[in-house]
Amino acid sequence: MVPNPLISRGKPTYGSSKGTAVLVDGKFHTPAWPVTDGAWVAIKVGAGPSRVFFSWNNPAYSWSDSIGKATSCKNNAALPRDYDILISSNSTRGSDGRWIKVDSIRANTVTARWHMINFAGASRVKMSIITGGGKLDEIEIVDLSKGAQDLWFFTGTSITANTYKEGPVPARNFADLE
Protein backbone atom coordinates (compact mmCIF):
# COMPACT_ATOMS: atom_id res chain seq x y z
CA MET A 1 0.00 0.00 0.00
CA VAL A 2 1.34 3.44 -0.92
CA PRO A 3 0.20 6.76 0.55
CA ASN A 4 -1.87 9.09 -1.58
CA PRO A 5 0.38 11.97 -2.67
CA LEU A 6 -0.05 15.30 -0.89
CA ILE A 7 0.01 17.70 -3.86
CA SER A 8 -0.70 21.12 -2.35
CA ARG A 9 2.38 21.87 -0.24
CA GLY A 10 4.36 24.79 -1.58
CA LYS A 11 2.12 25.26 -4.60
CA PRO A 12 1.26 28.76 -5.89
CA THR A 13 -1.67 30.40 -4.09
CA TYR A 14 -3.79 33.43 -4.89
CA GLY A 15 -6.47 35.12 -2.86
CA SER A 16 -8.72 38.03 -2.14
CA SER A 17 -6.03 39.26 0.26
CA LYS A 18 -2.30 38.69 0.63
CA GLY A 19 -0.66 36.00 2.72
CA THR A 20 -2.25 32.88 1.20
CA ALA A 21 1.10 31.03 1.00
CA VAL A 22 0.75 30.13 4.70
CA LEU A 23 -2.13 27.84 3.71
CA VAL A 24 0.18 25.40 1.90
CA ASP A 25 3.38 25.68 3.95
CA GLY A 26 2.75 22.51 6.01
CA LYS A 27 3.04 24.42 9.28
CA PHE A 28 -0.02 24.10 11.44
CA HIS A 29 -0.85 26.65 14.12
CA THR A 30 1.44 29.36 12.70
CA PRO A 31 0.26 32.64 11.20
CA ALA A 32 -3.04 31.88 9.52
CA TRP A 33 -5.00 33.54 6.72
CA PRO A 34 -7.97 35.77 7.71
CA VAL A 35 -11.47 34.75 6.64
CA THR A 36 -14.02 37.47 5.85
CA ASP A 37 -17.28 37.64 3.95
CA GLY A 38 -16.40 37.41 0.26
CA ALA A 39 -12.86 36.07 0.82
CA TRP A 40 -11.42 33.46 -1.53
CA VAL A 41 -8.24 31.46 -1.98
CA ALA A 42 -7.15 29.51 -5.07
CA ILE A 43 -4.38 26.91 -5.23
CA LYS A 44 -2.64 25.86 -8.45
CA VAL A 45 -1.87 22.17 -7.91
CA GLY A 46 -1.36 21.40 -11.59
CA ALA A 47 -3.05 19.11 -14.07
CA GLY A 48 -3.11 15.34 -13.82
CA PRO A 49 -5.17 14.16 -10.85
CA SER A 50 -8.67 12.95 -11.69
CA ARG A 51 -9.94 13.07 -8.10
CA VAL A 52 -8.66 14.97 -5.07
CA PHE A 53 -9.30 15.23 -1.35
CA PHE A 54 -9.51 18.90 -0.26
CA SER A 55 -9.31 19.69 3.47
CA TRP A 56 -9.16 22.91 5.44
CA ASN A 57 -8.94 23.72 9.10
CA ASN A 58 -9.36 26.68 11.40
CA PRO A 59 -6.73 27.12 14.14
CA ALA A 60 -9.45 27.42 16.80
CA TYR A 61 -9.52 23.56 16.70
CA SER A 62 -12.61 23.46 18.85
CA TRP A 63 -15.55 21.32 17.90
CA SER A 64 -19.15 22.38 18.02
CA ASP A 65 -22.43 20.83 17.00
CA SER A 66 -24.38 24.07 16.70
CA ILE A 67 -23.96 27.70 15.77
CA GLY A 68 -24.18 30.28 18.53
CA LYS A 69 -23.74 33.33 16.31
CA ALA A 70 -24.06 33.75 12.57
CA THR A 71 -20.32 33.29 11.98
CA SER A 72 -19.12 31.29 14.97
CA CYS A 73 -19.71 28.01 16.74
CA LYS A 74 -21.08 27.90 20.26
CA ASN A 75 -17.65 28.40 21.82
CA ASN A 76 -17.43 31.61 19.75
CA ALA A 77 -14.66 30.39 17.44
CA ALA A 78 -15.23 32.21 14.14
CA LEU A 79 -15.26 29.99 11.05
CA PRO A 80 -16.24 29.83 7.39
CA ARG A 81 -20.05 29.50 7.52
CA ASP A 82 -21.18 29.46 3.87
CA TYR A 83 -18.70 28.62 1.12
CA ASP A 84 -18.25 27.00 -2.29
CA ILE A 85 -15.47 24.80 -3.66
CA LEU A 86 -14.67 25.39 -7.33
CA ILE A 87 -12.22 24.01 -9.90
CA SER A 88 -10.66 25.54 -13.02
CA SER A 89 -8.40 24.50 -15.86
CA ASN A 90 -7.67 27.97 -17.22
CA SER A 91 -7.45 30.48 -14.37
CA THR A 92 -4.08 32.18 -14.01
CA ARG A 93 -4.45 34.12 -10.74
CA GLY A 94 -7.68 32.84 -9.19
CA SER A 95 -9.80 35.85 -10.10
CA ASP A 96 -9.95 35.08 -13.83
CA GLY A 97 -10.84 32.11 -15.98
CA ARG A 98 -13.80 29.76 -15.86
CA TRP A 99 -14.62 28.22 -12.48
CA ILE A 100 -16.95 25.26 -11.99
CA LYS A 101 -18.69 24.81 -8.64
CA VAL A 102 -18.17 21.26 -7.34
CA ASP A 103 -19.46 21.61 -3.77
CA SER A 104 -21.46 24.08 -1.67
CA ILE A 105 -21.58 24.22 2.10
CA ARG A 106 -24.20 26.26 3.91
CA ALA A 107 -24.58 26.77 7.68
CA ASN A 108 -21.23 25.13 8.47
CA THR A 109 -20.81 24.47 12.21
CA VAL A 110 -17.34 22.92 12.45
CA THR A 111 -13.78 24.24 12.36
CA ALA A 112 -12.35 21.61 10.00
CA ARG A 113 -13.82 19.94 6.95
CA TRP A 114 -12.94 17.87 3.88
CA HIS A 115 -14.32 17.41 0.37
CA MET A 116 -13.73 14.70 -2.24
CA ILE A 117 -13.70 16.40 -5.63
CA ASN A 118 -13.87 15.16 -9.22
CA PHE A 119 -10.80 16.98 -10.57
CA ALA A 120 -10.51 15.53 -14.09
CA GLY A 121 -9.25 18.18 -16.51
CA ALA A 122 -8.71 20.80 -13.78
CA SER A 123 -5.50 22.25 -12.37
CA ARG A 124 -6.71 24.70 -9.70
CA VAL A 125 -9.00 24.54 -6.66
CA LYS A 126 -10.72 27.54 -5.11
CA MET A 127 -12.49 28.01 -1.77
CA SER A 128 -14.88 30.92 -2.07
CA ILE A 129 -16.23 32.08 1.28
CA ILE A 130 -19.63 33.72 1.09
CA THR A 131 -20.01 34.41 4.82
CA GLY A 132 -17.72 33.68 7.71
CA GLY A 133 -14.94 34.82 9.95
CA GLY A 134 -11.87 33.60 11.79
CA LYS A 135 -8.85 32.18 10.00
CA LEU A 136 -7.75 29.27 7.88
CA ASP A 137 -4.66 27.45 9.12
CA GLU A 138 -3.84 24.94 6.37
CA ILE A 139 -5.42 23.65 3.19
CA GLU A 140 -4.22 20.25 2.07
CA ILE A 141 -5.00 18.61 -1.25
CA VAL A 142 -4.30 14.92 -1.74
CA ASP A 143 -4.36 13.05 -5.07
CA LEU A 144 -6.99 10.28 -4.94
CA SER A 145 -6.66 9.30 -8.61
CA LYS A 146 -5.53 5.77 -7.74
CA GLY A 147 -8.17 5.28 -5.06
CA ALA A 148 -8.59 5.91 -1.36
CA GLN A 149 -9.15 2.48 0.12
CA ASP A 150 -7.13 3.24 3.25
CA LEU A 151 -7.41 7.01 3.67
CA TRP A 152 -6.62 8.44 7.10
CA PHE A 153 -7.83 11.96 7.78
CA PHE A 154 -7.35 13.87 11.02
CA THR A 155 -9.78 16.76 11.12
CA GLY A 156 -7.62 19.18 13.06
CA THR A 157 -9.79 19.32 16.15
CA SER A 158 -8.06 19.64 19.53
CA ILE A 159 -7.92 15.86 19.83
CA THR A 160 -7.00 14.79 16.30
CA ALA A 161 -4.64 17.69 15.60
CA ASN A 162 -2.41 16.61 18.46
CA THR A 163 -2.85 12.84 18.39
CA TYR A 164 -0.03 11.91 16.04
CA LYS A 165 2.55 14.62 16.54
CA GLU A 166 6.21 14.66 17.48
CA GLY A 167 7.05 17.49 19.82
CA PRO A 168 4.94 20.61 20.15
CA VAL A 169 2.64 21.58 17.30
CA PRO A 170 3.62 22.21 14.50
CA ALA A 171 6.90 20.26 14.62
CA ARG A 172 5.54 17.43 12.44
CA ASN A 173 2.12 16.10 11.71
CA PHE A 174 0.93 12.64 10.75
CA ALA A 175 1.08 13.41 7.01
CA ASP A 176 4.82 14.06 7.36
CA LEU A 177 5.59 10.71 9.02
CA GLU A 178 6.70 7.86 6.77
Q: What is the mean pLDDT of residues 126-135?
A: 96
116 burial (CB, 10 Å; 0-12 / 13-18 / 19+) is middle
Angle, vertex CA 18, rays to CA 118 and CA 46, nearest 5? 30
The pLDDT value recorded for residue 172 is 56
pLDDT given at position 71: 47
Sign of dihedral through CA atoms 35, 38, 39, 41?
positive
Is 98 a residue whose pLDDT tops 80?
A: yes
Fold of 13-176: Jelly Rolls (2.60.120)
Range 23-42 burial, b when 16+ CB lie within 10 A, else e: bbebebbeebbebeeebbbb
Q: Where are the domains of the chain?
A: 13-176
pLDDT band at 58 (very low <50, low <70, confident <90, very high): confident
Of the chain, the end-to-end C-alpha distance in Å amounts to: 12
With contact defined as beta carbons under 8 Å apart, do 156 and 110 qualify? no
- pLDDT score recorded for residue 61: 58
Q: Is residue 166 scored above 50 in pLDDT? A: no
Tell me what the mean pLDDT of segment 28-48 comes to. 92
Strands, sheet with 40-44, edge to edge from the N-terminal-most edge strand: 13-15, 40-44, 124-132, 80-88, 100-105
What is the mean pLDDT of the segment spanning 20-30?
Answer: 86
Q: pLDDT grade, residue 157 (50/70/90)?
A: low
| Cβ count within 10 A of residue 67 | 15
Tallying the residues shown for the chain, one arrives at 178
Above pLDDT 90, what percent of the chain?
56
Q: Give this prediction's pTM.
A: 0.82
* Residue range 121-146: mean pLDDT, rounded: 94
Distance, in Å, from the CA atom of 16 to the CA atom of 32, rounded to the nearest integer, reads 14
pLDDT at 23 exceeding the cut of 60: yes
Higher pLDDT, 75 or 2: 2
Tell me whether strands 80-88 and 124-132 are parallel, antiparallel or unpaired.
Answer: antiparallel
